[in-house]
Amino acid sequence: MGHEEKMKLFHKKRDHQLGMGGKQKLKARKAAGKLNVRERIDYFFDPGTFQEIGLFSHSAIPEMAKHTPTDGKIIGCGKVNGRMVGAVANDMTVLGASSSATNMKKIEYMRALSCEKSLPLVFLGESTGARMPDCMGAAGMAQGGQNTAQYRRLREAPWISVLLGPSYGSSSWYSAMSDISIMLKGAVMAVSSPKVTRIATGEDTPSDELGGWKLHSEVTGLVDAVAESEAECMDLTKRIMSYLPSHCAELPPWSTFNENPNRQAHQILDYLPEQPNRTYDIRKIAKAIVDDAEILELKPTYARPCVTAFARLNGHAIGLIANNPMYGAGALTADCCDKITSFLVLCDSFNLPIITLVDTPGFLIGKEGEQKKITGKIINWMNALSLVSVPKLTVVIRKIYGQAYLNMGGGKYSDVFVAWPTAEISFMDPEPGINVVYNVKKEDDSEEYEQLLEEMAKNTEPWDAAGIFGVHDIIDPAQTRNFMIQMLDIHLNRKGGGVGRHLLRSWPTSY
C-alpha cells in the first residue's frame, strides 16, 4: 500500500472516530437540547487549542472496535483563557460512555499527565457506569483495577468535575475525588442508576432523589455549585479556575481590580446591627472588604450558618471563611465542620491565604449533632487547621464563644488575630452563662439577672484580651480592608513566598 492509499485510510478512520456514536444519536441529542461531547470541548477551550490524545482508541473486544469510536471517552489538552488545561470528556453517544479497559487507560494517562506536568484537570462528566459484558466474569474484573494509584489524590494540580447529565460509575467517582464539583440542574450523580438500584435493593427511587442537584447541593454537600445550563456550568468552571494556580508549587494568578479607596468602607458598620441578637448577612461585610465587592461562594445552600468562598484582596486570590448569623444565628453544625474543613484543605493545597470573619455563638450541641459525629468532626477541623501552612488572617466581628474560639482561628491558630470593638469573647454567651454560674434565670429575678448580665457582658469585651496580647489588635471596622491588605503583604513575603508546605495534600476529598 502506497502513501496515498495509507493517507486515504487514515482520513477514513479519522472521520469515523470523529463521528462519535453516529448521525442518528447526534441528531437525537441535539433534539433533546444537549451539546455533544465535541461541542462541549469546543465551547470550553480557547478556539483551535485543544489537542486530542487517543483519537483512534476503541474497545479491547475486537468485534466491538468499529462501534466504539474513542471508546466513549475523549482526552487531551488545550488552553483555557491562555492557560494549558487537561480534560477527560465523556461521549454518551458511544455505549453511554461506559467504563472499559481501554478508556480507563485513557483516564489513567490524563491523571498521570496532570500530576507530572502540573496541569489542571477538568472532567466533563456524563456516563452510565461499567460496561457490560466487558466487566462481567472473573476475566472481566481481573483486566481492570491493576493501577494501585487509580484512586489516590495528592493534589499536585487542581481537579474540577462538571456533571452535565446522568453520572454513574467513573463520572461519580472522579467527581468525589475532585477539588471542585459543579452540577447542571437535571443532572444526576450516584453510584448506580435507579434501575440497577431497584434490582439490587428493591428500592424504587426517582433519579433526582437518588442523586439529583438538590440532594448534593443541599444535603450531602458533594457539589460546590449548581448551574442552569451547560454553558453556565463551563463558564463557572473557568471562573473558578481563575482563583486557582495550575499546580501546587505556584501562587494563584494575580488579578487587576477596579478600586475606589472609599468603597463601602465607611458604611461597613451599617451592616452589623447594634442589638447583639439581631441577624444580618455577613456576606455584605465580606463584600465591603474584598476587591470589587465580589465573592464566589462554594456550597452556598449547604451548611448555611457558615460561608466558604473565593475572593480577591489587592489582586491576590484568597479563601474566605465566615459565620453567617442569617442562618441558625451562625451556630456551627456537624455539616459546617465538614464544609469548613474541606475548604481549609483546598486553600492550603493550592496556596490561597485564608481570611476568616467570625460571629458565632459556638457549636450547635444536642442529640442530632452527636448522631452526626460532631465531636469527631470538630477535632477533624482542628487537626486540619493546625496543619494549614498558608497565611491565616482572622477578624472577630461580633461573637466568638467556647471551642469555636479555637476552630475559627482564635489565638495562635491564626497568623493575625484581631477584633472589632463590637467583639464578644468568652467561654459562653453571657445569658445562658448566668444560669449555669449563678443559677439565676431572667424570669426568676429580672433585677438580679440584669445586674449579672451587665457584669458578665463587660467581661466579654475584647479589651482584656488585647491587653494581654491574646488578640493582636483591635481595629477600626472601616480600616479592615486596608489592615488586611497590609497583613497579607507581610505574610506572603515570608520564606516560601506564600507557597505552603501542603501537609494536607492527601486529606480525603469526600468524607
Every domain of the chain and the residues it spans:
3-133+149-241, 265-423+461-492
DSSP class of 332: B
Q: What cell does 463 get?
A: 479589651
Per residue, the 3-state secondary structure of 361-372, as one string, reads CCECCCHHHHHC
Cell 493550592 found at: 350
Beta strands 424-426 and 392-401, pairing class: parallel
Per residue, the 3-state secondary structure of 173-215, as one string, reads HHHHHCCEEEEECCCEECCCCHHHHHHHHCCCCCHHHHHEHHH
Measured over the CA atoms of residue 288, residue 424, residue 407 and residue 215, the dihedral's sign is negative
Report the alpha-carbon distance of residue 92 to residue 448 in Å, rounded. Answer: 71
How many C-beta neighbours within 10 Å does residue 32 have?
Answer: 8
How many C-beta neighbours within 10 Å does residue 140 have?
Answer: 16
Query: Residue 95, SS3?
Result: helix
**Given 3.40.50.360, 3.20.20.10, 3.90.226.10, 3.40.50.150, which CATH number is that of 265-423+461-492?**
3.90.226.10
8 A C-beta contact, residue 111 and residue 242? no
Query: Looking at this protein, which amino acid is placed at residue 200?
Result: A
The rounded Cα 400 to chain-centroid distance in angstroms is 25
Q: What cell does 81 get?
A: 483563557
Residue 323 neighbours by CB under 8 Å, 6+ apart:
282, 305, 306, 307, 330, 332, 357, 358, 359, 360, 408
Q: What cell does 493 get?
A: 513575603
What phi, psi does 114 have (nearest 5°)? Answer: -60, -45
| pTM of the predicted structure, to 2 decimals | 0.92
Q: Find, among 496, 248, 254, 252, the residue nearest to 349 by Cα.
A: 248
How many C-beta neighbours within 10 Å does residue 23 have?
Answer: 10
Helices (H) and strands (E) in the chain, counts: 19, 16
User: Which H or E element spans position 316?
Assistant: strand 316-323
8 A C-beta contact, residue 423 and residue 457? no
Report the alpha-carbon distance of residue 101 to residue 218 in Å, rounded. Answer: 35
Query: Residue 403, SS3?
Result: coil
8 A C-beta contact, residue 351 and residue 387? no
Report the alpha-carbon distance of residue 332 to residue 406 in Å, rounded. Answer: 13
Domains 3-133+149-241 and 265-423+461-492 share a fold: yes
Q: Which CATH class is domain 3-133+149-241?
A: alpha beta
8 A C-beta contact, residue 224 and residue 184? no
Which stretches does DSSP call E strand in 157-300? 159-168, 180-184, 188-189, 225-227, 295-298
Full pLDDT tens readout for the chain, 511 residues: 899 999 999 999 999 999 999 999 999 999 999 999 999 999 999 999 999 999 999 999 999 999 999 999 999 999 999 999 999 999 999 999 999 999 999 999 999 999 999 999 999 999 998 887 666 555 555 565 556 677 889 999 999 999 999 999 899 999 999 999 999 999 999 988 888 888 878 888 888 888 999 999 999 999 999 999 999 999 999 999 999 999 999 999 999 998 765 566 778 999 999 998 899 999 999 999 999 999 999 999 999 999 999 999 999 999 999 999 999 999 999 999 999 999 999 999 999 999 999 999 999 888 999 999 999 999 999 999 999 999 999 999 999 999 999 999 998 999 999 999 999 998 666 555 444 444 556 666 676 666 665 555 567 889 989 999 999 999 999 999 999 999 999 999 777 788 999 999 999 998 7
